[in-house]
Amino acid sequence: MAVALSVNLNAVAQLRNRRDLPWPSVVGIGRIALENGAHGLTVHPRPDERHIRFSDLPDLRALIDDEFPKAEFNIEGYPTDDFLDLCDTNAPEQVTLVPDDPSQATSDHGWDFKANHNMLAPIVARLKSSGFRVALFADADPEGVKWAADTGADRIELYTGPYAATYDSPSAAERELDALQATADAAREVGLGTHAGHDLTVANLPPLVARIPDLFEVSIGHGLTADALEFGMSATVKRFLSACGH
């Protein structure tokens, strides 16, 4: 099964926000990504709008609806009331819930599903009642997966930061892959689909895909945007699609 690629546009938006100018265009870069085969677009609107702005969301929703109706819009974030209202307004195909503190530079851990079960379950139910698929950001922890399933979520997204950090240690990479594979196996047993994301690259994607053959989707922003500076966005999306097995 080839893995779907969702292009995270946060880094593009962060570059745009360095100036009071409309470029690089978040919508324009999203269009290039989808034109070249990406299966969807991901954004993570944080409360301070330091990269994706709330005003970007309806424009990206319109881009997909008007030009790429088979693509998916994935909105990720911590489930505050304001975040949930953004989801209701912009109707993503998927919502990915992450346990971010607003001050964090980026997501750096998954949910403690047992401790947060009673908080997550009604939020998942609310989102699913609106027709959104729900994924939950997860550490490589097979024991926690049953609690994730019990929230009613559809999928988990494996936090791959620790795996990506082993780029200079093949033995450490194998240990992280073992843990990710075990978690994906546990998720499958309780009926959850598996996604992955964080610091994935053209180099580290193929071993991950080989270990989790039923991986549904990867969401990639930083590494993909960094490569685009060298290869251009069109070629970079194709490189990542090839790494995903397309």
In the beta sheet, which residues pair with residue 133? 94
- Determine whether 176 is an active site residue: no
Instruction: Report the candidate in 200, 135, 8 with the shortest Cα–Cα distance to residue 209.
Output: 200
Where do the H-state alpha helices sit in 130-204? 145-150, 161-164, 170-189
User: What does the H/E/C string look like for 196-222?
Assistant: EECCCCCCCHHHHHHHCCCCCEEEECH
Residue 241 one-letter amino acid: L
- Determine whether 143 is an active site residue: no
- Determine whether 44 is an active site residue: yes
Q: Which of 76, 157, 176, 217 is catalytic?
A: 76
57 burial level (CB within 10 Å; 0-12, 13-18, 19+)? buried
Q: Which of 72, 195, 198, 217 is catalytic?
A: 198
Q: Which residues touch 61 (CB under 8 Å, ≥6 apart)?
A: 73, 90, 91, 92
Helical (H) or strand (E) element with 223? helix 222-231
Number of H helices, E strands in the chain: 11, 8
Q: Which of 44, 157, 176, 195 is catalytic?
A: 44
**What residues act catalytically?**
44, 76, 198
